[in-house]
Amino acid sequence: MDGLLLVHKPKDMTSHDVVSRIRKILKIKKTGHFGTLDPLATGLILVAVGKATRLFRFFLHMDKTYEGKIRLGWSTDTYDSYGHHSIEESKNYPDRQTLLRCMREFEGEIDQTSPPFSAKKHKGKPLYELARQKKELELKTSRVIVHFFRLKGYNPPIVDFAAKCSSGTYIRSLAHELGQKLGCGAHLFKLTRTKIGSFHLNDSFTLDEIKRLVHQEKTRKFFLPLESLLPELPSMVINNAAASLIRNGNEFFADSVLKILPGKTSRSSKGKIEKNIFKVYNTRGKLIALAKSNSRCQSYHPFLVTGS
d(CA 204, CA 154): 29
CA dist., res. 294 & res. 228, Å (int):
25
Torsion of CA 52, 58, 61, 67, to 10 degrees: -40
- Which residue in 185, 191, 186, 178 sits closest to 98, CA to CA? 178
- Specify whether 38 is catalytic: yes
Active-site residue (options: 2, 38, 63, 80) = 38
DSSP-derived secondary structure letter, 232: T
Helix, strand, coil distribution of the chain in percent, nearest 5? 25, 35, 40
Partners of residue 202 on adjacent β-strands: none
Cross-strand bridge partners of residue 151: 161
Beta strands (DSSP E) in the chain are 3-9, 31-33, 42-49, 64-72, 108-113, 121-122, 125-126, 141-155, 158-165, 186-196, 199-200, 223-225, 235-238, 252-253, 257-261, 277-281, 287-293, 299-305
Question: At 289, phi and psi to the nearest 5?
Answer: -170, 165
| Beta strand 277-281 pairing with 299-305 | unpaired
Neighbours of 65 (CB within 10 A): 21
User: Where are any strands of DSSP class E within 199-276?
Assistant: 199-200, 223-225, 235-238, 252-253, 257-261
> 106: how many CB neighbours lie within 10 A of its CB?
19
Active site residues: 38
